Amino acid sequence: MTWQERYGAGLMNTYGTPPLLLTRGKGAHVWDVDGKEYVDLLAGIAVNSLGHAHPAVVAAVTEQVSTLGHVSNLFASEPPIALAHRLLGLLGAEGRVFFSNSGTEANEAAFKLTRRTGRTHVVATEEAFHGRTMGALALTANAAYRTPFEPLPGHVTWVPFGDAEALAAAVTDETAAVVVEPLQGEAGVNQPDKDYLARVREITTRHGALMWLDEIQTGVGRTGTWFAHQNPALVDGVVVPDVITLAKGLGGGVPIGATIALGAAATLLEPGNHGTTFGGNPMATAAALAVLDTIESEGLLDHVTEIGALLVEGLTADARVTETRGAGLLLGLDLAAGIDAKLVVSAAMAAGWLINSPRPHRIRLAPPLVLTRQDAEAFVAAWPAILDSAGAAS
Ligand SMILES: *Cc1c(COP(=O)(O)O)cnc(C)c1O
């Protein structure tokens, strides 16, 4: 049997059969089962923040798992305590953290936390993605994801992303929370005006509702600042949310989610309200600490800003890219009318580059934060020929 046949016979068909079987990775490079090399400009969907097999993550996980890998929440261990304080330090705020194992779980905890306000109404945004478990799914805008699983937790209103007027009209004194992404990653990197998050803060404060930022894709250095809501390229002024959810890039490939609640929101979840067996285990939190340490020690925030700017400038030099969205290393590229982004993805793969197309005419790039200048320049050089082989007329 081919690996495709074994895959299809063994795994539930939730994703279709993937195009490649990957066997190893190093930095931003991966190799498939035939030994063909690719530059990974997706990083496992913004997860492999330090690339593949980064020595700091390998060492942290190896050391922790060979010392004390898991204890459950019946006992404490040092790494989750250190990680909680580290994250709060990066936010420069007082608060508390709940650790879990994925993005959707980080959002489940946040969703439950919002119910402890005594209110149930949540306002979310159109095209938002918050995860696939029943609670997070209830907030996800895509009806195709939701309707097969209804009834879901209700009392959710969607408003157009980036539209502060629509949000102001939807939020009332009964609203528990507004949940929003600084950039909508799964929708292809939708970017709001720079005053949007400040408006969200204003509106939620006025109605006593929580402001919940889903930074699962945008957080942990992805846009060139620790968190996207701190990025002056994306957000004007200082915005302090009540709840922030993180996952993807935090563990450098090791599954982890974090729900961070600031100020008064930090004590909404009380003993018995929530729990997880694996969440925040010493191994996963040690990996996350290694990721944060490395971002700092290798100066990766500035590197991300620099390489992101290089990519935007280089790729938009081809007129077939009509617009770019995002910042740092979370970029959406709009392709000129008539260019099929799926064909561009295939052409890129054939040429040794992994990218994806969250929308029919848009490409998303979310490479490892450690992507080298050399790899970025090589991609820029390869780009026009990739568009040519996708049949895009120039
Ligand atoms: C990926 C993602 C999630 C869900 O994370 P999982 O780890 O896949 O459950 C939620 N919100 C955003 C913004 C995401 O990008």
To the query of whether residue 129 is one of the catalytic residues in this protein, the response is: yes
Q: For the chain, how many structural domains are there in total?
A: 2
Of 297, 327, 357, the residue at which a domain comes to its end is: 297
Q: Which of 98, 248, 334, 375 is catalytic?
A: 248
Cβ proximity of 351 and 373 under 8 Å: no
Measured from the CB, is residue 214 less than 6 Å from ligand 1? yes
Q: Does residue 185 have its Cβ closer than 6 Å to ligand 1?
A: yes
Q: Check whether residue 130 and residue 202 sit in a common domain.
A: yes
pLDDT at 393: 77
User: Rg of the chain over CA atoms, in angstroms?
Assistant: 21
342, 316: one domain: yes
**Residue 104, domain member (yes or no):** yes
Domain check: are 163 and 34 in the same one?
Answer: no
Ligand 1 pocket, residue 161 CB under 6 Å: no
8: in domain: yes
* Low pLDDT (below 70) residues in the chain: 394
| 14 within domain boundaries | yes
Please indicate, yes or no, whether residues 176 and 292 belong to a single structural domain of this protein: yes
Instruction: Tell me, yes or no, whether 306 lies in a domain.
Output: yes
Q: Is 230 in the pocket of ligand 1 (CB under 6 A)?
A: no
Residue 58, helix vs strand vs coil? helix
Residue that terminates a domain, selected from 297, 321, 343: 297
Mutating to test ligand 1, I would choose from 217, 222, 244, 364 the residue with most ligand atoms within 8 A of its C-beta, which is: 217
Residues 150 and 15 in one domain: no
Separation of CA 162 and ligand 1 centre (Å): 20
Of 297, 322, 353, which one is at a domain's C-terminal end?
297
Report the CATH number that the domain containing residue 156 is assigned in CATH: 3.40.640.10
Instruction: Judge contact between 260 and 91, C-beta under 8 A.
Output: yes
Instruction: Tell whether 331 and 353 lie within a shared domain.
Output: yes
Residue 375's CATH number: 3.90.1150.10
pTM of the predicted structure, to 2 decimals: 0.98
> In the annotation, is 214 catalytic?
yes
Q: Does 90 share its domain with 195?
A: yes
State if residue 130 touches ligand 1 by the CB under 6 angstroms criterion: yes
- Co-location of 333 and 217 in the same domain: no
Going from the Cα of 179 to the center of ligand 1, the distance in angstroms, rounded, reads: 13
| Residue of 99, 161, 214, 227 with catalytic role | 214
Q: Please tell me the distance between residue 216's alpha carbon and the centre of ligand 1 in angstroms.
A: 6
Cα separation of 192 and 11, whole Å?
A: 38
pLDDT at residue 392, rounded to an integer:
77
Residue 106 and residue 199 share a domain: yes
Pairing state of beta strands 121-125 and 156-159? parallel
281 and 337 share a domain?
A: no
Range of the domain at 343: 3-53+299-389
Q: Is residue 340 part of a domain?
A: yes
Q: Which residues pair with 327 in a beta bridge?
A: 330
**C-alpha of residue 34 to centroid of ligand 1, in Å:** 31
Q: Using a 6 Å cutoff on CB, does residue 108 contact ligand 1?
A: no
Is 86 in the same domain as 205?
yes
**Ligand 1 in reach of 181 Cβ (< 6 A):** yes
DSSP 230-249: G-TTT--S----SEEEE-GG
Residues 47 and 72 in one domain: no
Question: Would you say residue 394 lies in a domain?
Answer: no
Query: Could you tell me how far CA 50 lies from the centroid of its own chain?
Result: 14
**Closest protein CA for atom 15 of ligand 1:** 217
Does the residue 259 lie in any domain? Answer: yes
Q: What pLDDT is recorded for position 391?
A: 86
Question: Quick check: CB of 334 below 6 Å from ligand 1?
Answer: no
pLDDT score recorded for residue 42: 98
Classify residue 359: in a domain, yes or no: yes
pLDDT value at residue 24: 98
